[in-house]
Amino acid sequence: MAARTRRRSGEPERTRRDRDASPPLPELTAPVEDYLKAIYELERAGEPAATTDLAVELRLAPASVTGMVRRLAEQGLLMHERYRGVRLTAKGRRSALRTLRRHRVIEAYLVQALGYGWDEVHPEAERLEHAATDDLVDRMAMAIGEPTVDPHGAPIPSRAGAVEEARYRSLADLPVGAIADMMRVADEDPMLLRYLADLSLTPGCTVRVVERAPYGGPITIEMKRQRRLIGPALAERVLVRPHRE
């Protein structure tokens, strides 16, 4: 595949108002898109992304990451400080966001238009995001009413590359008595997602923290008069927006 997406022509055409219109994004290979996406996610924590973390995330040998990082730096997609990690450039961030948009629109479409479960869409989207054109993704988004979040509550970047990364809190951090709306699951593990669905703990629902056992014990929540026990590992993955005050 790599070979067939190789650019054969010269420089891409640059037309009117290139100063503010973002330059046309070149076609990237699937691995490159995966790297940029992973770096984007790691960087959201604030620090530059370490190559080792990248290797873990992408399930590659660290040495392979080093090689690719060098090439991406040459292409101006990221800045690399030896032994310090990598940061995306503006160009790299735009590419990452475009891929993220594709991924999340596809996930939303599969759920809303084709009846997939929210636990099934991740791998499918992972494959399609590299093959779908922006046009197709836009049509999918339109067909399901321009959603702003994917099935797991993750925000969908706009066509222009704007994202609103809301800073939610983890259910694990709420004090007893707090009431909050569930907004997002920070995990794609199918088992975990199915379990959450079984509990009816999905984005949009409202929960109240009834009790917290100390020392990493379970959290008791109430939703629609039903009480549930949630382990701390699970609660940590559930992101919520507490009601004001």
Q: Which positions lie near DNA, rule CB under 7 A?
A: 2-4, 6, 29, 31-32, 50-53, 58-71, 80, 82-83, 85
For residue 147, count other CB atoms closer than 10 A to its CB: 18
Which among 188, 234, 215 is positioned nearest to 207, based on CA atoms?
234
Residue 63: name its binding partner from its own copies, DNA, none (Cβ under 5 to 8 Å by kind): DNA
How near is the Cβ of 97 to DNA at its closest, in Å? 19
Residues 74-113: x where in contact with its own copies by CB under 8 A, - otherwise, as a string? ------------------------------------x--x
3-state class of 73 per DSSP? helix
From CA 78, how far away is CA 91, in angstroms rounded? 8
b (16+ CB within 10 A) / e for 201-233:
bbbeeebbbeebeeeeeebbbeeeeeeeebebe
Q: Phi then psi for 135, rounded to 5 degrees?
A: -60, -45
Select from 1-9, 10-18, 91-99, 159-167 the region that touches its own copies (CB under 8 A): 1-9
- Tell me how many degrees the CA angle 139-29-186 measures, rounded to the nearest 5: 65
How near is the Cβ of 147 to DNA at its closest, in Å? 30
Residue 133: name its binding partner from its own copies, DNA, none (Cβ under 5 to 8 Å by kind): its own copies
How near is the Cβ of 19 to DNA at its closest, in Å? 29
Q: Toward DNA, which CB reaches closer, 86 or 185?
A: 86
| Look-up of token digits 């809303």 | 112
Q: Which of 6, 7, 114, 165 binds its own copies (CB under 8 A)?
A: 114
User: Does residue 8 bind its own copies (CB under 8 A)?
Assistant: no
Per CB under 8 A, contacts with its own copies among 134-193 are 135-136, 139-140, 143
From CA 128, how far away is CA 122, in angstroms rounded? 10
Question: What are the tokens at 192?
Answer: 């975990």
Q: Which residues bind its own copies (CB under 8 A)?
A: 1-2, 4, 29-31, 110, 113-116, 124, 127-128, 130-133, 135-136, 139-140, 143
